Each structure stands twice: as structure tokens, then as C-alpha cells.
Structure 1
Amino acid sequence: MLELEDVSFQGHHLPLLQDRNLILPQGATDQTVAATSEARTALALICSGRLSPDGGRVLFQGEDDPRRLRRSTALVDSPGITSPEHHMSVRDLVAESLGLIPGGPGKRIPPAAAWISEQDADDIADSPAVALPAALRLWLMTELAFADPQVELVVLDSPDRHDISAEGLSETLELIAEPSGRTVLAILAQEVLR
């Protein structure tokens, strides 16, 4: 599904990524490590088609097509980019996320209240999204990403920055990957238990 071939990216003062290679098959959940927060976010942006690498290639379904990659990928909880605003309740986050899904013939996007009920999340609907426990926050945001029928791949940017143990993160990544067939890439500061 996603393949990086010798991908590099130059930061303002030094290289952030050099000769990165990755193969992520369809329906797999995997993790990769980048040393700094800037490198993690750059890699997440590249893997989701939102940033072009300075060198190398990014293939999605065997094709070098950044537009298709961008449309088929959700970048989840990227600091300062797609992380929830501090003032947002879960209800607000759900309404905004569902509202951004492109409509069209045959696409039925549920109202926020219905989606929250379907997820058995009524008890947290009025909670601040940023105050949710890390595992719940990651699960919620990933479920919202996969609510878009065009999303085939979710890229999680630095989920280990939240207060979560390596074991808890590993369990959360397994939960996120269900139902089977979902493709998820977590970009981490250090490798967690597999």
C-alpha cells in the first residue's frame, strides 16, 4: 500500500530525514521511529501526501501519485496541524471532523450526535477532547478518520507524546487496527512493544 524509497527531507538547519525506506502492506499496522518531533511530523506529512520529500519516492498502491495519497490518507493528531484545539469538546471535534468529509452521490455521513451514539461515546461527548486519556483520544480520532469512506490509511503523528505506557500504546494500536483490513502507521519517538 505505502512504500518509501530512499526518502529524504532537509529541515531549515539540518537534514530531518535521510534515506528512509518503508513498506507498509494493505491491512497492516506498523510503527516507525524518527528522532525528533520535527522529523516525526515531516515523516507523517510525507507519508500522508501533504509534504513532498526532497529526495526519493513515495508510492501509494504502487503509484507515485501524491494527490491520491493525500485523499486516501488521514493525518491524525499531528501537533499544531490536526490535533484538537484546546477549547473543543468531543462533540465539537466529531461535528468538525464529520463535516469535513466530502459528500457526494451515495455517501451518507451521519450527524455528530448519531455517530457519538453509535460509538457508545455519549458519556464523553461534552468532555474536552484534549483532556481524554491518551488511548481513548487516539481511538476516537482514528475512528473519526476512518468514518470517511475514502480513507484507506491513517498516519498517527507522535502518539507516544501523550501520557501512555509503551504497553498501553501497543494495545491501543491493536484496537485501532480493528476491524481487520485497516492500515495504520504510527510514527514514534521510540519503538514500542509489538
Structure 2
Amino acid sequence: MLLAQQLHVHGRRDPLLPATSLQASRGELTLVSGERQDHRTALALVISGRMKACKGCVSWDGRRGIRQLRMASALVDAPGVNEPERHLSVRDLVTEDLALIPRRYRGALLSSPWLKVNSFEDIADLWTEQLAPSRRLELLTALALANPHTDLLVVDSPDRHSAGSGSWLPRLQELASDAGRPLAVVATVAALPSSWSGPVVAIGNAVPRGLPPESEAGTENHGGTSEAALEREDAK
């Protein structure tokens, strides 16, 4: 289980992440709503172990520590962090992402056989910008799960690619409910689908009412750890 309490990240003027608490269990999809993209991405980075919160704590299966969380999680499609470059072919994207899997789990994973086994041969020679939103999410989540030790899937703003939840919600529900590999799936969204009745969290839910959300205005966040540095370390 993912348990996050009072997570808060300072920003230059406004908080990069207002104090937020949430929990997510294996076998379920949790949607986290927030109007601002920077808030959604900051939360995704913190709960996937890619960035340290300035305040609050987060744990996975009762164990605190950013490294344990980082090793158990996968961050998917975060804008400005690890979203695919627009002019990158699917084949090249797969080659790059498979190379980031820790060597002890990587084995002989190569792009061509992986694309065939996972039924992505039909899109192998397309640019990533040409992919339909649903197909894009299928590809990115499949790549995230190529690491057998991924138990927590954090998807950043899948609704930004389409106006309809049908392009992303069924896929995330399917992954969360897979009995063969029970995952905790968390997705940040700008707005909740009208049909959604599952677990819901609002960014900023741990900010006391009537108090300013940021008492250290003007303080920059120096708690972050770069995605690239963590990927290089884990791939050793």
C-alpha cells in the first residue's frame, strides 16, 4: 500500500504541491484531481519517489524512504519529465525505455521481439505524436511494467490527450484489477470522469481551511532529485 501524509513541496511563489494526503492499495485505481498541471506533476513525482517532499512523509508497504518507493514504482508520461519526445519513433522509444530497466532484470530485452510479443508491431514505425491516446497509454504502461518489480503505477494527467475518459480509464482499470499482477494504480487528472465511483483524492486536501496554503512564499524547492540521475543509478 502507498501511504502519503501531508506531502508539501514549496514553490517560487505558490506551492508547487499544496499539502496532500492519500493512500492507494494494490488492486485498485485511485484518481487524484487537481486543476493545475504543475500540482499534478509534482504529486506524481513525489509519490513515485522521483522527488522528495519538503514536508510530510510517504511510504510503500510500511517502509519509508525514497529509494524503496522509487524501486517499486513507475512514473508514466509526466509532462516535461518523461513524456515521449514528439519526433521519436515508437521503435526508438521502446529501445530507450528498455535500456533503463535495471540490468539485473533486463536480460536480453530487445525492441523488435518486445514489440512483437506485446502486439505493438503495427505502430513500431510511427512517430509517438501519431499515436491515438488509448494506444499511446497502452504502450507507455506496457513499457513501465516491463520491469517485473513495478508494483505501483503513477500516471500523470492521461486526460490531457483526449476529452473523453474512454481513451484512458478502461486501460487503467484493467491494469489495477489484473489478478495475475495486482498493482496499485494512481492517476492524476484535471477533472474526474462523471461515471467514476472509485477512490478519489483532491490535491490540497490536507491544507487546513482558513489558513494560507504556503507560509514560506518565495522559498524554492531544493528537495528534488532528477529523474535522469535516478534512472542512471538504477540501471547500473
**Shorter-chain-normalised TM-score: which range?**
over 0.9
Q: Identify the residue that residue 149 of structure 1 maps to in structure 2.
A: 148
Amino acid at match of 2:70: R
Q: What is the TM-score with the length of structure 2 in the denominator?
A: 0.77
Superposed CA deviations along residues 8-51 of structure 1, whole A, max 9, x for unmatched, are 12221112333311110123221111220110110011011111
Task: Give how far 1:183 is off.
Answer: 2.0
SS in 1 for 2:80: coil
In the alignment, does 2:90 pair up with 1:96?
Answer: no
Amino acid at match of 2:112: A
- For residues 90 and 187 of structure 2, what CA distance do their matches in structure 1 show? 22
SS in 1 for 2:18: strand
Task: Give how far 1:167 is off.
Answer: 3.5
Q: Identify the residue that residue 126 of structure 1 maps to in structure 2.
A: 125
Mapped contact 1:34–1:190 kept (Cα < 8 A): yes
Q: Identify the residue that residue 171 of structure 1 maps to in structure 2.
A: 170
- For residues 177 and 46 of structure 2, what CA distance do their matches in structure 1 show? 25
Q: Identify the residue that residue 18 of structure 2 maps to in structure 1.
A: 18
Superposed CA deviations along residues 103-123 of structure 1, whole A, max 9, x for unmatched, are 12x753421111100111111
In the alignment, does 2:178 pair up with 1:184?
Answer: no
Q: Given the superposition, is the C-alpha separation of residues 115 and 159 from structure 1 closer, same or farther in structure 2, using an over 3 Å criterion?
A: same
- For residues 127 and 167 of structure 1, what CA distance do their matches in structure 2 show? 22
Q: Identify the residue that residue 77 of structure 2 maps to in structure 1.
A: 77
Amino acid at match of 2:76: V
- For residues 37 and 106 of structure 2, what CA distance do their matches in structure 1 show? 36
Amino acid at match of 1:134: P
- For residues 53 and 34 of structure 1, what CA distance do their matches in structure 2 show? 17
Q: Which runs of 5+ in 2 are unaligned?
A: 197-236
Task: Give how far 1:144 is off.
Answer: 0.4
Structure showing greater Rg:
2
Aligned residues: 193
Q: Which has the higher contact order (CA 8 A, sep 6+)?
A: 2
Mapped contact 1:101–1:148 kept (Cα < 8 A): yes
Q: Which runs of 5+ in 1 are unaligned?
A: none
Superposed CA deviations along residues 151-194 of structure 1, whole A, max 9, x for unmatched, are 11111111111024023332232234353312211011111232
CA RMSD, Structure 1 to Structure 2 (Å):
1.6
